[in-house]
Chains A and B, each alone.
Chain A
Amino acid sequence: MKKRIFIILILFVFVLINQFEIRAQADRTPVYVHGLGGTQAGWANWQMLFTAERQMTAGSNRLYVSENGVVNFANQVRTFAPPNNNSIIFGHSTGGVVARHIERTPNIVVPFGGIITAGAPLDGARISNNLANGQTANFILNGVDKVLKGPVRQFGPLQGALYQVNNHLFKSLAQLYVNRILNNSQGGATSTDLAEGSAYINNGMRGQASAIPKIHIYGNENSPVLWRIASVASTWADGELVNVTQVAYDVCMAAKNTHIGLAALNPFLAIQYFQVADGWSISGNWIKSGSESGWNDLIGASIPSSITTFSQVMDYDQFTQCMSAYAGTQATYAQYMQCQEQSTFTVSYTSYSPINGRSDGFIKAPSQTGFNSAWSNNATRIEALGVNHLEMRNHVEMRRIYNLIFNGQAGANAFFNTPPRN
């Protein structure tokens, strides 16, 4: 009897191994799903590489209408994805949410056996909320105002053609920035679906545990995230806007220092020059840090925090009163210093100073990893350091990550093992 059980067990193990080898050796038929407003070009690079390098067919990589809601999007994908439990669905951004939706749709045969998401807003995208409530528009308006503070204070209100050029050029480029980054997602049912706390995000799907193997790749872009993603959105070289903004900051601060110097030597006009210096300082600091803090807040990657500092300030009413005791006499410097000292106080100042959290420049890291989704409990989460939302289409770090996944490394479920072509 024991011998028979042993033989059965051996046979069972043999069959399992055999099955696994068959699975591993058969070419997979992947399904690629782009993001909101994207096209099949978003996955074209990886499709070509995976097909050439791994035991994978070209699979399905199509252009979908992505603006009409997640459900509509998912139905289109299902149409072109015949059931195949050896298939992997790759979803970038909204494509990852679509993959989850298909997997969680009741009473269907799930047409794939594993899910890989990249930069997917699994818990929602805060930027959708802020587009709808006008905060994104206000952010741009404030940015324009602050960046021009130095130039306007130094050179006066921009007039005529100069004003037109600056106003329209900046605003149109700012709009381009928003449109490119947001993939024309302003308005539309899908953008509404993706908003944090929306009816779609709270429809229960993300709260359901699921056994299907899944991997969430999350971008963790370097600071300053908004200028890096803007470089890509503007089809400029990687990080080029970072260099430009760094130069802009340094120029602003240099301009500020020269005006302080002029103020020091020209007391009658000092306040004018100090005001100009203050304008350059506001411009530079918005470019350097205010813009990134504001953007991180818009995308939900901002962690509330405050900071306190202390500064010596003078009560000038008290000082004037003190000095009035010496009116009509030749007051001494010592008397002046005494009055100044008596009228000087230490005051504490506290301001909001949020911590910039991890994100791919568009979706905060916790949402990309489904931090608040029971559905993602069994997911392998892999960080793509220095990769922003748009760079996931072709960044070298993503290639390294995909190779790890296909080689069975990085803690990925063995389901995703996809051997190289011989």
Chain B
Amino acid sequence: MKKIKYPPKPHFFISIGLSAMLIVTLSKCQKDFEIERKNLKQDATSEVMTLKYEVETLTIPILQNPDEANSQEKIQAMMFSDKSKVEMTLFKDGTTRWQMETVLPSHDLSVQHLTPAGKEPKAKFTRIDRKGMGSFYDENEVLLYTHQVPVPSFADVVANLKENPNAIFAAMGIDTKANLNQILANAKAKGYTIQDLGNGMISVRMANSGIRATATRQSGSTDSNTIVNIFNTSLGIMIGSTLYNEQEEIISQAFYSYELNGQERLVPKAFYMQNWDIDPVTREKTKTETHTFFENVSVTLNQL
């Protein structure tokens, strides 16, 4: 047994919004990842697929008038980056199990501070079970604490796969032309607006007040969004997306880029997104760029 780092203690944190996230339980229990792998195999009958990838995110808030900004405004606009190795297992009931490892991002934005570093161990590994309970481990795989993680439901993904098992290859908007046509036919059947933009490009407009509710399995939200996706039909790929709010204002816009893997198949490479928000102090519109880079994407699909 490895040494226990923390005694069990409940914590309450005010700031994350939902009370479920506020309770911190530090557990004495310690498991390594080998045991989890055995459990994973025992549950194999209900597994749908396993998705592995490395993802790095670079977030760049854009200052509109950097020369006029004061130091607090500049700090609000600091860049940040992180990178993780992720392995996700999807089950038939839409639940998921996750393993994550934090690694050094290639966009290293770390600063050598003069403030002495805290001595508390940092989480390097995260494991989330099918009930959404996250366990966080340090670099020696010693359990630091457990806490509920607001994992979204993947039930829609499972439902789509039941309809069309090949839809898994639509991950990140990549598909064969034949499958894309099938997906577009399904979209039309659901009432989405499809428009030919010329030059082999089409747009699919999804005006759906329930998008957010469906996406998060939450009810009660009155937020109504519209998504417009742009496809290149000759390649069978998604080019970009735009997200509008109820007032038809753009709140997010994104473009995709891909690369060819060893099997001459396009796989996701990067996702460039711009977000517009309202500054809580000045009430002016602010813009943030987020660059999300993928590496080593692989999918293992089981029979449904």
Contact = CB atoms under 8 A, between A and B. Distances in A.
Interface of A: 135, 138-139, 141-148, 150-152, 154-159, 166, 169-170, 173, 220-225, 228, 239-240, 242-248, 250-278, 281-283, 285, 287, 289-290, 292-294, 296-298, 301-305, 307, 309-314, 316, 320, 323-324, 326-331, 333, 336-337, 340, 344, 349, 351-359, 385-386
A298 B70 CA distance: 12
A354 B71 contact: yes
B121 to A, nearest CB: 9
B219 to A, nearest CB: 10
B136 interface: yes
Given A251-B16, A271-B241, A333 B260 contact: yes
Nearest to B187: A268
A329 B254 CA distance: 26
Contact of A221 (B78, B82, B115, B271): B115
Contact of A272 (B212, B253, B268): B212
Given A255-B150, A333-B264, A275 B116 contact: no
Nearest to A298: B72
Contacts of B115: 220-223, 225, 292, 296, 301, 356-359
Contacts of B142: none
A157 B211 CA distance: 14
Contact of A273 (B61, B147, B215): B215
A369 to B, nearest CB: 14
Given A155-B18, A293-B78, A349-B79, A314 B272 contact: yes
5 contacts: A242-B118, A272-B212, A275-B251, A278-B59, A309-B108
A331 to B, nearest CB: 5
A254 B149 contact: yes
Interface string B148-182: 11111010110010000000101111000100000
A135 B72 contact: yes
B17 A351 contact: no
Interface in B1-49: 6, 11-18, 21, 24, 26
A354 B75 contact: yes
B5 to A, nearest CB: 11
Interface of chain A, main secondary structure: helix
Given A250-B136, A330-B234, A267 B72 contact: no
Contact of A268 (B12, B206, B292): B206
Contacts of B149: 251, 254-255, 258
A381 to B, nearest CB: 16
A243 B59 contact: no
Contact of A326 (B60, B200, B239): B200
Given A244-B24, A281-B57, A307-B111, A337 B259 contact: yes
A139 to B, nearest CB: 6
A135, A251, A292, A385 — most chain B CB neighbours (10 Å): A251
A187 B230 CA distance: 56
B143 interface: no
Contacts of A336: 235, 237, 258, 266
A409 B293 CA distance: 56
A122 B100 CA distance: 48
A352 B108 CA distance: 14
Contacts of B229: 267-268, 271
B116 A351 contact: no
Contacts of A333: 235, 260, 264, 266
A349 B60 contact: yes
Given A246-B123, A354-B75, 18 more contacts: A223-B113, A223-B117, A239-B120, A244-B11, A250-B126, A253-B102, A263-B172, A269-B227, A270-B238, A270-B241, A272-B211, A272-B215, A276-B215, A281-B57, A294-B72, A301-B115, A320-B199, A333-B266
A247 B24 contact: yes
B254 A267 contact: no
A267 B152 contact: no
B72 A240 contact: no
A294 B75 contact: yes
B207 interface: no
Given A138-B281, A246-B122, A290 B76 contact: yes
